[in-house]
Homo-oligomer: A and B are copies of this chain.
């Protein structure tokens, strides 16, 4: 909470650590027990400090397992623990990518529950047990890029028009290659990206230098950008070029040539729209 104060955070959407979800370890029962323990701890923190934290859950995923446990755990976390969303791991194998793409019907039972509960998912892998992929330097970013391209090539959002995903780390490689993705979609005779994806896909601001955030805000509509800092997360330490923490992302947003109304969207209003249960909590808590 000291860090929240120092960085200017009012409320943190708090989930179990992505890198510790570790869906590749053990089996369904292991993941179920570990997931419940993590989610219960998050719930406890949110209950103790309701002004500071609101919960998002991990799901008990396992390579090759059906989604029944995940559906039940999402329901428990939302209805019983007051959570407002979930983390969804597109690669429970931890870097071997053995599950079907996120657009496969394999995932539909979870999407039906997400739609019913009106909660979004952050697409986030866990640690990597493939020596090719450094977890925070490659696996995370690759997963972001991979998920977006899966969405681009599918009709998932025709089947689930209200489904919403947040892609972390500023959308992986996507904004940097926005022309590539516009061109690929065009070549495949897909609708323009705005129409195809941007009612359903959102990007956080976990990009740790000003030129990256500048690019993000240049190519991605403001309505699709949700403040995030990953604090305390993958990149700790002070950037010698600025004298501030790499992950002190509020400074980069503050420096954008945008008006106050747009910055308010990025800092809070978009989150309240994408996580409607957050908006409801805030309305209830208002004096």
Contacts and interface: CB of A to CB of B under 8 A. Distances in A.
Contacts of A22: none
A183 B145 CA distance: 21
21 contacts: A97-B130, A97-B132, A99-B132, A101-B131, A132-B146, A137-B145, A137-B153, A145-B145, A169-B177, A175-B176, A177-B208, A179-B209, A179-B246, A180-B207, A182-B209, A182-B239, A183-B208, A183-B237, A209-B219, A211-B219, A215-B215
Contacts of A145: 137-138, 141-142, 145, 173
Contacts of A104: 131
Contact of A132 (B90, B152, B218, B219): B90
Contacts of A240: 186
A179 B215 CA distance: 13
Contact of A141 (B131, B132, B177, B186): B177
Contact of A235 (B95, B187, B210, B237): B187
Nearest to A214: B215
Interface in A190-230: 207-212, 214-215, 218-219
Interface in A99-131: 99-101, 104, 130-131
